[in-house]
Structure 1
C-alpha cells in the first residue's frame, strides 16, 4: 500500500510537471507592420510565414498579426514606431533608419560585403548578433535576424550604363550605403518605398532604381518601364530583414516565448534563402522574352563602384565608432573566410 501511495504521489507530481509548461504559456497579441507587401516573394512573405509557424508551435498563444505597408504605420517608419512604443514590433529591411542609426545599414547590406551564407555565419557564429543587440539597445529596440535573400540586382535603368560618367546627374533610387556610393559617383539619389517606384519610373521622376531580386522586381512591374537590367548586386550581396521588437515589450515576455520567437525567425532565415535561390532563373528567362536586356556591369564600372564603396565606408567608419566596430568585425570575418571560399567552391565561370 505504501508503494502504491508513493507511486500515486509521484505520478501526480510528474503530471503536474508535464502540464506546467502548457499552463504557463503566455498569450501574445501584437500587430506587426511590414515595410514590404506580403505578396513579394521571399522578401515580404517571410514574416507572414513566421507568424503562421509561431501560431502552430505555440498552440495559438503567440499571434503576431502582420499588416501590409501603410496599414498600421508608414512603410519607412517601422523603426521609429517600434522604438517609441507605438507598436510592439515591426518587420523591415535594416537600414531605412540610416539617418538615426548609421550602423543599421551594415546589418541590412554592405557594398562588396558578405554574401548571404557568410553573413548568416557571421551573425550566428562570428559575433554579429551580439553587435546587433548592442547597436540597437540605446534605441529601445530588440532586433531579431528574421530573413535573408540572395544578392539583389544592381538596378533598372532607362539607358545603358557603360562608364562611371553615365551616372552623373542620374535620378536614381537607392537605399543604405549603396545609395551613398551612387551619390559619390555623381547620381542624384532618393529613397522611395517599393510601392511608389513603378510610377516614379513611368513618369520620369526616376531614371533608374534598385530594389530587390528578379522575382520581386518582376512583381513590381519594372520591366514594363525600363529595359536595361544590371547585375551583380554589388551594393547588396545579401539583403537582410529583421523583426524589430520594442525593448519593454520584449522584456515582459517569458524566456519560453522569447525562445519560440527567436527560433522561428531562424527558421524564417532558412526559408527565405531557399525560396530566393529557387526562383530567380525562371524570372530572368521571362525578362528575356519581355525584351529586357539583362547585363552584368563591366569591370570598369565594378572597379568604380568598389573604389567609391571603400571610400564611403572609410568615411562612415571615421565618423562613427560603432560603425567602425561593426564594419571591422564584418571585414575581418570576410577576410578570414575568403581563402576557403576561393579554394573550397567551384569557380563561378567553371563549366
Structure 2
C-alpha cells in the first residue's frame, strides 16, 4: 500500500495549497452553487459516494463558498445522460463513468476503462504524467465539456452467472449486461449484450430478462443483491481493471471561474481519486468471504478463457483505432506507457501470489 500512502500525502499537500487559497478575504473569492447529477446512487460504496465526499471537502476548503448539491440518478436527468446534459448546458456539471458516451466519443471508453489495460495507479500515472490529461481536455473541448479526473476504483467483477464459466462456448447467446468496450468484447465472443442501468439489474436477473451481468465492485454488486439471483461470480475484471469517473463541467461555465476556484475543484477531485482507490481496496476481501459463506462460488476465469478474451480485446481495440483517429492516438499513448512501465511493474513489486507471511 506504499503507493497509496504516497498518493495521499501528495494530495494532502495540494489540499493545503487549496485551503490557503480559500483563506483569502471573503470578497476575493466567488461563490459557486451547482446542482451536480451523478450516474450512480450515493449509497454505492466507493462508486457512488465519491462525489459526495468531494463536495464535502470543497465546501470545507472554501468556507462554504463552493457548494455542490449532489443530485441522485434519475432525479433531474437520466442516470446515463450526464454527458449530454453538461454538453448542452442543461446542467453546469455532472459526475459519471467516462464511457457511456462511447457512441459520440469513442475514445471516452479508453479513459473509463481499458480491457486488459492499466490498473488505477497506472492509469493515474499515465493520465497526469504521460499526456493523458492533455489529450482528453482537447477531445472534450469539442463537446463543450471540461472533464476532471475525480475517482478511480479497484477492478470490477468479470460477471455474475447462473452457471460456472469454464469455456466461452457457454456465453454464446447469453443475455448479458455490459457497458463500454467490455460490452463489445462480450459481443465478439458471442454474448447478446444489453446496457441496463444498475438499479434495474436485480429485477432483470430475477425475471430472466438477463442471464448474467457485470456492474461494479463486489461490494457494490452485493448492495444490488446479485448474490441472491446468480450464484457464480467470476473474477478478474479483465474488462475494467480500473473504473474511472470524471466530473464533467460545462466549458462555458468553467471558463468563467476564477483560478483559485478551479484549483480547489481540481484538488478536491484529486483527493476524490485517492479516497475512492483506498475505499474500494479496503472493502473487497470481507465481502468475498461473505459471498462464500452465502453459497456463492467465487472463481477465477480459466486461463484459456482469459487468453481468448484478450485476443478478442485486441481485435476490438485495433478495429476501433482504425476507425477513429482520437481513439488511435489515445490507445497508442497508453500502450507506449505500458511497455515502458512493464519492467517496473513486474520487478518493483512482489508477485501477487507471494505469501503474505
TM-score range, shorter chain: over 0.9
- Rounded Cα–Cα distance in structure 2 between residues aligned with 1:135 and 1:229: 36
- Structure 2 residue aligned with 1:337: 341
Return 5+ residue gaps in structure 1 as ranges: 1-17
- Of 309, 312, 315, which residue of structure 1 is paired with 2:313? 309
1:279 equivalent in alignment to 2:273: no
Deviation per residue, 1:91-134 (Å, 9 max, x gap): 00000011111110100000000011100111111111111111
What displacement does 1:173 show?
0.4
Which of 208, 215, 227 is the aligned partner of 1:204?
208
Q: Normalized against structure 2, the TM-score is what?
A: 0.92
CA deviations over 1:229-259 (Å, ceiling 9, x no partner):
0000000001000000000010110011000
Over aligned residues, Cα RMSD in angstroms?
1.0
What is residue 238 of structure 2 aligned with on the other side?
234
Distance 2:23 2:295 in 1: 62
Tell me the residue number matched to 2:296.
292
Question: Residue 217 of structure 1 aligns with which residue?
Answer: 221
Shift of 1:21: 4.3
Q: CA deviation at 1:22?
A: 2.9
- Whether 1:176 and 2:200 are equivalent positions in the alignment is no
Higher gyration radius (CA): 1
Task: Identify the residue that residue 95 of structure 2 maps to in structure 1.
Answer: 91
- Partners of 2:282 and 2:88 lie apart in 1 by 38
Matches within 5 A, 1:65-84: 65-84=69-88
TM-score normalised according to structure 1 size: 0.94
In structure 2, what is the equivalent of residue 147 of structure 1?
Answer: 151
SS in structure 2 opposite 1:75?
coil
Out of 20-29 and 260-269, give the one that drifted further. Answer: 20-29
- Tell me which residue corresponds to 2:40: 36
Aligned to 1:258: 262
The residue aligned with 2:117 is: 113
Query: CA–CA distance in 1 between the matches of 2:331 and 2:23?
Result: 47
Structure 2, gaps ≥5 residues long: 1-21
Q: C-alpha separation between the residues in 1 aligned to 2:241 and 2:40?
A: 19
Cα distance in 2 for partners of 1:305, 1:227 equals 22
Taking the aligned partners of 1:68 and 1:128, their CA distance within structure 2 comes to 29
Deviations 1:301-337 (A, max 9, x none): 1011000000000000000000000011011111110
